[in-house]
Amino acid sequence: MAEDREIGGTYQKAKGKVNEEVGKLTGNPEQEMKGRGQQVTGDIEKGVGKFEKGLKRETND
């Protein structure tokens, strides 16, 4: 589960970067902001996955 969150977070961040860049190229500030939001969401999701993985490791020791 934790690894799935990390992978999902990485995917979300990459998708956001693409949306941000497309927004910049097309002059669409709404798409640019959507992309930035997706990147933040990806960072959070990835961080939660790392936290869960660390918790699991601590409880198994």
pLDDT at 8 over 90: yes
Range of the domain at 14: 2-60
3-state percent breakdown (helix, strand, coil) of the chain, nearest 5: 95, 0, 5
pLDDT classification of 1: cutoffs 50, 70, 90: confident
For residue 59, the model assigns a pLDDT of 85
pLDDT reported for residue 14: 98
What does pTM read for this prediction? Answer: 0.85
Percent of the residues in the chain that have a pLDDT greater than 90, as a whole number:
77
- Whose tokens are 């693409």? That residue is 18
Domain count, the chain: 1
What pLDDT is recorded for position 15? Answer: 98
